[in-house]
Amino acid sequence: MSRLSIEADEFGGHTLFLDGHPQSYVVLDDPELLVFGYVQQLATVVDALPPGRLAVTHVGGGGLTLARYVQHTRAGSPQVVLEPDAALTDLVRRVLPLPRGHRVRVRPVGGRDGIAALGDGSADVLVVDAFGGAQVPSDLVTTEWFGEVARVVKPRGVALMNTGDEPDHRHVARVHAGLARSFRHTAAIADVEVWKRRRHGNVVLLASDQPLPLDAVSRAVARLPFPSTLRSGATLARALGDARPFTEADTLPSPGPPTPPGQWRLR
């Protein structure tokens, strides 16, 4: 059984821990304060999209940090969160309640079943940020899965995925290969140290059937407090190399983070 806890700090923030690993950081009075680097990277893409409300589907809930951000920056946006861990959702609702007037619906279902129940072209943005045992589950990295993601994303919509990998980037390269089979345009954001293959870390993948707002995202990424870089096209191909995509018959979860929690696994 997973160990869940939410710990407050002296700055008014709360960290959600799952099995000792920090999963989310929330400041109820300041939804725009994003502490985790990969959440900041996800937010740069959302901010680069045309103004107005967005229909957002989140695969994985955690502390609902990004959902709170979207609600704050694009008030009234309808959002669906697919989170199978009912105990986690109950804890978050009790300790970190959502603001009044929100349009965030949390469904107690996993990503595969939850996405299968959604209509074609129902999401402007679909965010995959789901971890089980501190790893992205193997059923959320396959070519078949990304085909379902593409079905739900609107023709001009964007799919985003947060994943983690070892310095060799072998796993994320295969994930990207599967994503690229379902979307015409892809890109990726990661910390500079991750791109240099110096440590285990997060990579945020972007995908769309329409050209991505790369210039706007790249400028925003360059301003992040954690030195990060957006890569696309030939630059991304060189960074990841050739890889065969994962399939239902050949798949693996993402590599787990370093242990003990909080340590970096160096090359």
pLDDT one-digit tens code per residue, 207-225: 999 999 999 999 999 999 9
- How many domains does the structure of the chain reveal? 1
Give the number of residues written for the chain: 267
pLDDT at 260: 55
pLDDT at 265: 40
Task: Judge whether 2 lies within some domain.
Answer: no
Contacts of 214 (CB under 8 A, 6+ apart): 187, 230, 232
Task: Judge whether 197 lies within some domain.
Answer: yes
pLDDT at 257: 77
Identify the domain containing residue 79 by its residue range.
36-236
Task: Judge whether 127 lies within some domain.
Answer: yes
Q: Cα–Cα distance between 256 and 217 in angstroms, integer?
A: 28
pLDDT at 266: 42
Cα→Cα distances 60→185, 211, 214, Å: 24, 26, 25
- CATH code at position 128: 3.40.50.150
pLDDT at 267: 41
Task: Judge whether 12 lies within some domain.
Answer: no
What are 129's two structure tokens? 């940020």
In this prediction, the residues of the chain whose per-residue pLDDT falls under 50 are: 1, 261-267
Task: Judge whether 231 lies within some domain.
Answer: yes
The per-residue DSSP string of 140-204 comes to GSBHHHHHHHHHHEEEEEEEEEEEEE-TT-HHHHHHHHHHHHH-SEEEEEEEHHHHTT-B-EEEE
Task: Judge whether 28 lies within some domain.
Answer: no
pLDDT at 2: 65
Task: Judge whether 192 lies within some domain.
Answer: yes
Task: Judge whether 241 lies within some domain.
Answer: no
Q: Pick the closest to residue 143 from 185, 110, 169, 176 (CA basis).
A: 176
pLDDT one-digit tens code per residue, 117-150: 999 999 999 999 998 777 899 999 999 999 999 9
- How many secondary structure helices (H) and strands (E) does the chain include? 9, 11
